[in-house]
Amino acid sequence: EVQLVESGGGLVQPGGSLRLSCAASGFTLTYHWMHWVRQAPGQGLVWVAYIDNDGGRTTYADFVKGRFTISRDNAKNTVYLQMKSLSGDDTAVYYCVRDAQLSFDIWGHGTVVTVSS
């Protein structure tokens, strides 16, 4: 079964850091671009970051540039999102998403990040 499983979410204080992981199974991760998308409570979907097949190119939404870093380890079938300088605005469900034909065809179940003191 093709699936993505996120982990690493939790409660973190403002200004803190967190690293999310996304384990891929059922397909060859190397063949796909990958993304992180987030959804704040009661709000819509927002694209956060992208990484190409081998990690050579990354792109970020303006509101996370300089604070978040997306990376991948194809040998471990895992994608990461390192987040720092977190604020309440970063509170959201974070989804790991597979790219296919410039659409998001496989979504993980999401991991909840709560930034609060």
Partner 1 sequence: QSALTQPPSASGSPGQSVTISCTGASSDVGDYKYVSWYQQHPGKAPKLMIYEVTKRPSGVPDRFSGSKSGNTASLTVSGLQAEDEADYYCSSYTGSNNFYVFGTGTKVTV
Is the distance from CB of 81 to CB of 93 less than 8 angstroms?
no
By rule CB under 8 A, what count of residues binds partner 1?
A: 21
The answer to whether residue 68 forms part of the interface with partner 1 (CB under 8 A) is no
The answer to whether residue 113 forms part of the interface with partner 1 (CB under 8 A) is no
- Contacting partner 1 within 28-57 (CB under 8 A): 35, 37, 44-47, 50
How many other β-carbons are positioned within 10 Å of the β-carbon of residue 106? 17
Which has the closest alpha carbon to 4: 110, 89, 76? Answer: 110
For residue 100, the minimal CB distance to partner 1 (Å) is 7
For residue 16, the minimal CB distance to partner 1 (Å) is 26
The answer to whether residue 108 forms part of the interface with partner 1 (CB under 8 A) is yes
The answer to whether residue 27 forms part of the interface with partner 1 (CB under 8 A) is no
Q: At which residue do the structure tokens 């990040």 appear?
A: 113
How deeply is 72 buried, as exposed, middle or buried, from its count of CB atoms within 10 A (0-12, 13-18, 19+)? buried
Query: How far, in Å, CA of 63 to CA of 61, rounded?
Result: 6
The answer to whether residue 1 forms part of the interface with partner 1 (CB under 8 A) is no
Binding footprint of partner 1 on the chain (CB under 8 A) = 35, 37, 44-47, 50, 59, 61-62, 95, 100-105, 107-110
